[in-house]
Amino acid sequence: MDRSQEGYGDAELRPAECGGEPHGCAAPDDEESLRREAEADGGEVEEGDELYEPFAVDVDRGQEPMRLDKFLTLRMQHCSRNRIQTAVDSGSVLVGGRPVKSSYKVKPLDRITVVMPYPKREIEIIPENIPLEIPYEDDDLLVLNKPAGVAMHPKSGDASAPSLAAMLTNYLGEGSVPHFVSRLDRGTSGLLIAAKNGYVHDRLRRALHSSDLRREYRAVAVGRVEPPCGVIDAPIGRAEGSIIRRCVRADGLPSLTEYETLQVNDRFTLLRLRPQTGRTHQLRVHMAYLGHPLAGDWLYGTEDKTLIARPALHSYELWFTQPVTGQELHFTVPIPQGMQRLME
């Protein structure tokens, strides 16, 4: 693949280049596609949502001194200056691991990290009496095994729609507020953490993509992925004219994914995926970018419900340090049968 193609900037695949054309940047061209995009993840994606995902940047050696707020406004182009200021004021912008003020002058080789809670939703959550699979629970948090096909939150304008938030609200009791540490697309299954209070939520959010909180996924991609392992270093941003679609683009946010082949058959590759950043649809976009979209991913590949009715992506393994007790916790959940059948 020619990395000099316009629109792909500094995208890099290590340790080897991959063949095939990049996928996922074409905007939908009909009303039905736009409608399906709007519903694809239960209304999870909102304008400017990148501010609410982990963002980290290592400042270039040649960077001239610049106010932090101005620097972030230039680098996080999908977020308003007010939202960035909110992040700074709440202590969610760190330089070298320490909170800083907007007036801080960015210097060469600074490591800047932005981590914020997801925006508060105005929609009311109506408890839903549907059983949850809870591999672990203590006084501060729960580890959930999310089923595929369940959105994280209700659709806007439909508080009664089944969602993980409604199921968890029912489990925790009336008046409780679910604090999800991360999100999974509606079609994605597997492990995630819900905090029972704002303090634990904030601590775990800050730990995302650090040695204190690591996640590993299993995915089934179309075709034989070559090379069999590597690192996809390709910035991700919103696709032009799309409601939720993302693509690799030069002005996107830094995005890094490690991958490794576990099994191959005539049609598919079973992969271990380790995201080092947390962009919307990151794993799906990066695999499509390699020319190997996930099986069942109609948004970035092709849809064949006779094979699998959702993107073949599963949050398989989770390591984290309990922020209150300091206990090291580790969980795995088996790959769902629908994904297993693709590899038979």
Catalytic residues: 185
Helix ranges (DSSP H) in the chain? 31-39, 68-75, 81-89, 164-172, 198-207, 282-289, 337-342
15 upstream amide cis, omega within 30 of 0: yes
State which amino acid sits at residue 25: C
Alpha-carbon distance 135 to 137, whole Å? Answer: 7
Closest-CA residue to 112 (of 126, 92, 140): 92
Q: 82 Cβ partners below 8 Å, 6+ apart?
A: none
Contact 81, 54 (CB under 8 A): no
Q: H or E segment at 31? A: helix 31-39
The answer to whether 165 and 178 are in contact (CB under 8 A) is: yes
329, exposed or middle or buried, with CB in 10 Å at 0-12, 13-18, 19+?
A: middle
The Cα 241–Cα 233 span in angstroms is: 24
Looking from the CA of 35 toward its CB, the CA atoms found within 13 Å total 3
